[in-house]
Amino acid sequence: MADRIISGRTHDAYMTVRDHIADGWAASVCTVPKDAPKGEELIKLDTVFEREDVAWKSVERFARAELNNLK
């Protein structure tokens, strides 16, 4: 599955949800300074959810909160 990106004023948040065999859906979010390569990210959330839609909602909520804290 493709990453989704949310841009804040000073940082970008990359969100990923992928199928985690037999456990559910693994969701990750990382924030990087604007225009920084994604390869230097620090993962802030890496957890497993039972459903894909719940994983996307949770990871997006977390990403928006992180970006708001970095204003």
What's the token pair of residue 63?
């990403």
Contact 70, 11 (CB under 8 A): yes
At residue 61, what are phi and psi to the nearest 5 degrees?
Answer: -60, -45
Name residue 16's beta-bridge partners: 28
DSSP secondary structure letter of residue 39: G
User: Considering its fold, how many domains does the chain have in total?
Assistant: 1
**For range 52-65, the mean pLDDT:** 92
pLDDT for the residue 70: 84
**For range 44-71, the mean pLDDT:** 87
Verdict on whether the full-model pTM lies above 0.85:
no
Domain residue limits at 48: 4-69
The torsion of the CA quartet 26, 67, 10, 6, rounded to 10 degrees, works out to 50
Kindly report the average pLDDT of the chain as a whole number. 84
The torsion of the CA quartet 42, 62, 28, 4, rounded to 10 degrees, works out to -100
pLDDT for the residue 41: 62
